[in-house]
Amino acid sequence: MVRRRSPALALSAVALCLSAACLPNRLEKTESDLRDAIAAALARGDTATLRVFIEVPFAFDRLYIAGPRAQESTLAAIMGDAWLPEMSRRIETSDHFYLMVFETRGKIIPAALTLRTARIDSSLLNRQYTPDNAVFRVERAPGDSVPTLRPLERRSLPAPAAAPEGSPAVPPSGASAPARTAGVPGPSR
């Protein structure tokens, strides 16, 4: 007797294999796409704008940008139940990258942006962005080896994400902590 497998079971198995195989590739592509987009924006000169929603290979619901030495507990509190400790990529002890954490349909995709690729203005850190406002200026000051992502306009910045009690966000070396706005809610679930 030949035993037939359910088409739904076979499809689920294929989907699981594909999703497991695609996650590292998606992450590498995201980081590569961001590097390429920053270089292309810089080459455009005075129209140097980085629209994150165009540059990443997936649609996202929100983006959180953490600076070097950000507290993993802060990331966990802001990103919610989908956050896994290994996603922090050891940012708490690192000075060489920013962590861009994308949320798409309840799933988290962390991507590192190294300091060899670009710096991110401290006013952009510790904030949540939507695809509509994750738009930044890319500029390189004379004498700088890498470009810096800066806000387009001051009024376009979202309010800083609320840090959990007792775990203040740590700004990158030499930067002052962005002002906190009382009563800023975390993610809605």
In contact, 149 and 138? CB cutoff 8 Å: yes
What pLDDT does residue 51 have?
A: 93
- Longest distance between any two alpha carbons in the chain, whole Å: 76
48-93, pLDDT tens digit by residue? 889 999 999 899 999 999 999 998 888 888 888 888 888 887 888 8
Residue 139 zone, left/alpha/beta (φ > 0; ψ -120 to 50; rest): beta
